Amino acid sequence: MILEALSYGFMQKALIAGIAVGLICSFMGTFLVLRRYSLFGDGIAHVAFGGISVGLFLGVFPLWTAFIVSIFGGLGLQKLRQSTKISGDSAVAVVLVSGLAVGVILVSSSGGFSVDLFSFLFGSILLISQEDTIMILALSAGIIATLTILQKQFLHLTFNEEQAKLAGMRTTLLNYAFVVLASITVVTSMRLVGILLISALIVIPNITAMQFGKGFKKTVFISMSISVISVVSGILVSYFLNVAPSGTIVVIAVGILVGTLLLKSTGLLGKIDIKNPSKLTHNS
CB-based contacts of 208, cutoff 8 Å, min separation 6: 222, 223, 226, 253, 256, 257, 260
Q: Is 271 in the site for another protein (CB under 8 A)?
A: no
Q: Of 168, 266, 275, 282, which lies in the binding site for another protein, with binding defined by CB under 8 A?
A: 168
Q: Is 149 in the site for another protein (CB under 8 A)?
A: no
Shortest reach from residue 216's CB to another protein, in Å: 5
Size of the site for another protein (CB under 8 A): 23
Shortest reach from residue 34's CB to another protein, in Å: 6
For the chain, state the CA radius of gyration.
Answer: 19
Shortest reach from residue 42's CB to another protein, in Å: 20
- The answer to whether the Cα torsion of 175, 181, 187, 189 is positive or negative is negative
Closest alpha carbon to 205 in 59, 29, 6: 29
Q: Is 174 in the site for another protein (CB under 8 A)?
A: no
Q: Is 163 in the site for another protein (CB under 8 A)?
A: yes
Q: Which is nearer to another protein, 79 or 218 (CB)?
A: 218
> 280: helix, coil or strand?
strand
Q: Which is nearer to another protein, 79 or 156 (CB)?
A: 156
Closest alpha carbon to 115 in 104, 124, 102, 106: 124
Q: Of 7, 9, 83, 162, which lies in the binding site for another protein, with binding defined by CB under 8 A?
A: 162
Q: Is 216 in the site for another protein (CB under 8 A)?
A: yes
Chain positions 175 to 214 lying near another protein, rule: CB under 8 A, are: 209-210, 213-214
Quote the CA–CA distance of 203 and 75 in Å, as a whole number: 21
Span from 21-29, 90-98, 134-142, 217-225 in contact with another protein (CB under 8 A)? 217-225
Shortest reach from residue 208's CB to another protein, in Å: 12
Residue 201: other Cβ atoms inside 10 A: 29
Let me know the angle formed at the C-alpha of 33 by 176 and 175, rounded to the nearest 5 degrees.
10
Q: Is 160 in the site for another protein (CB under 8 A)?
A: yes
CB 71 within 8 A of CB 180: yes
Shortest reach from residue 210's CB to another protein, in Å: 5
Quote the CA–CA distance of 269 and 237 in Å, as a whole number: 27
